[in-house]
Chain A
Amino acid sequence: MPVRRRYPAEVPEATAIVSLSGVAVRAGAVPILRDIDLAVHPGEVIGIFGANGAGKTTLLRLIATMTRPSEGIGAVFGADLNSPDRFEVRSRIGYIGHTPGWYPELTLAENMAFVAQAMGIDEARVDDRLDAVGLSGAKDRRADRCSHGMQRRAEFARVLLTEPDLLLLDEPHSALDADAVDLVDGLVKRTVGRGGAAVLVSHDHVRVESLADRILRIENGTISTGRAP
């Protein structure tokens, strides 16, 4: 079981998996995020709340190295978010966004096999991982013929396959049945149990507060409060 820490974190900044200092993100002239200071440490689960459009998803994409800071300094696994080093750490990040990213023409197993081949993971593990999320009967079904919930479950199977050190989940509990919600919790615990960290963006306060070591609230693009759950 991971050791739970309380805000503020006790681990020195140098060991942080994610370290953001004075970070701003702009889309053209429009500010999306501003003055973001955040450190995420190994074994830590962070929950992020905020209204629609507050900048939660942009913050997750920033941490996932998919968006670059317009200002400030940011690093993930020590890789500067403004340097090409960030390419090297991407395979250590598991990101599940709002929309599943499967190729509609391919089966769930083929989609997973593509990820395995791309990352040099043994393809034999694909079936096991789909079985683990309850999709053994649907693995040969095309992604576009699977329900949204099944596609979400398959994304959890992808996380089990790639075993990331940093798990980033955007609204992980939406459109899921009770079993799948438990799967999310299991994934988070499994990741932090291996010494990784997880960041969850959600509107499900009860569920996230039961998992998180720290809760952050984003308002108008900046972190307004940080507290223990």
Chain B
Amino acid sequence: MSPPFWKQATTVTRRDLLRERRSGEVLWVTLPFGAVALLLIPIAISTDTVTLRRVGVGMFWVVVMLFGVLIAVRRTTSDSIAQRDMVALTGMDPAAVFAGTALANFLLLLLFETVLGVLTVVLYDIDLSGAEWFPLILILVAVGLSLLGTIAAGIVATGRSTAALVPLIVAPMSVPLLIAATQSFEGLRLGKSILTWILMLAVIALVLAVAGVLSARPLQETG
């Protein structure tokens, strides 16, 4: 008797988080690189506080998008066919495997965003107007990016595309996320309503979730 969908999904999430805890790939490699990127940008462009404050939020989101995709697809090239076979032959629902992987990616991305967010506030002297909205925006972007990365990883894992194609798959799709995220922060800074942008982030997440669940089985079959 197969476990229910969410039990299968959380089994996959626990596996991914345990693997991450042991390998430290996100915590000790990707996160420090993201932090270094945020540190280098002020040195590269200006040390002027006004300029940094103006570009800070945009820089944060660009770093989150670029490094966040790496977090979401980190296992694509390292996981072997034998490992994928083992998962497939447990009889787990591919949609549950997708949901569990996306959930683990979401949690790691949220951690990544939070640490880099604090660093950005400190380094770029960010205006904290409307800070009560920050968690919601961070969560929605993390959901969207984790789903997008997990779908891209699934496509690459079929073996019909190489990992080098991940940026080409992800970049166009992440543009709406980037726009909605930066415009939300801009709206908060100017004291405008950000409901439209929040709604856009939620719709993107919903569309990606549906696409991911529906494509999980065909993608596993193609692999």
Contacts and interface: CB of A to CB of B under 8 A. Distances in A.
Interface string A45-76: 00000000000000000001010100000000
Contacts of A93: 89
B85 A101 contact: yes
8 contacts: A87-B217, A91-B91, A97-B85, A101-B84, A117-B3, A120-B2, A120-B3, A142-B22
Contacts of A101: 80, 82-86
A91 B89 CA distance: 6
B8 interface: yes
Interface in B86-125: 86-94
Given A66-B85, A120-B3, A90 B90 contact: yes
A99 B82 contact: yes
Nearest to B23: A105
B217 A66 contact: no
A94 B86 CA distance: 9
A118 interface: yes
A66 B58 CA distance: 45
A106 B18 contact: yes
Contacts of A110: 18
A93 B87 CA distance: 12
B221 interface: yes
A90 B220 CA distance: 13
A90 B217 CA distance: 14
Contact of A115 (B8, B14, B82, B90): B90
A81 to B, nearest CB: 11
Contacts of B221: 68
Interface string A97-119: 11111110110001000110111
Interface in B1-22: 1-3, 7-8, 11-12, 14-15, 18-19, 22
A99 B221 CA distance: 20
Given A115-B86, A118-B3, A88 B80 contact: no
A56 B8 CA distance: 32
B152 to A, nearest CB: 21
Contacts of B2: 91, 119-120
B169 to A, nearest CB: 22
A90 B15 contact: no
B90 A91 contact: yes
Interface in A9-44: none
B3 A95 contact: no
Interface residues of B, number: 30
Interface of A: 64, 66, 68, 84, 87-91, 93-95, 97-103, 105-106, 110, 114-115, 117-120, 142
Given A90-B89, A95-B89, A119-B2, A84 B217 contact: yes
Given A97-B82, A101-B80, A118 B23 contact: no
Contacts of A94: 89
Contacts of B23: 105
Which 4 A-B pairs have CB atoms at the shortest separation, nearest pair first?
A91-B91, A101-B82, A101-B86, A105-B22
Which among B7, B14, B86, B221 has the highest number of chain A CB atoms within 10 Å?
B86
A173 to B, nearest CB: 18
Which among B80, B84, B94, B217 has the highest number of chain A CB atoms within 10 Å?
B80
Nearest to B24: A105
B81 to A, nearest CB: 8
Nearest to B221: A68
B89 A117 contact: no
A88 B91 contact: yes
Contacts of A66: 85, 88-89
A142 B2 CA distance: 27
Given A84-B217, A97-B85, A101-B83, A120 B22 contact: no
Given A103-B19, A106-B22, A118 B88 contact: no
A68 B88 CA distance: 14
A115 B90 CA distance: 7
A119 B82 contact: no
A99 B85 CA distance: 11
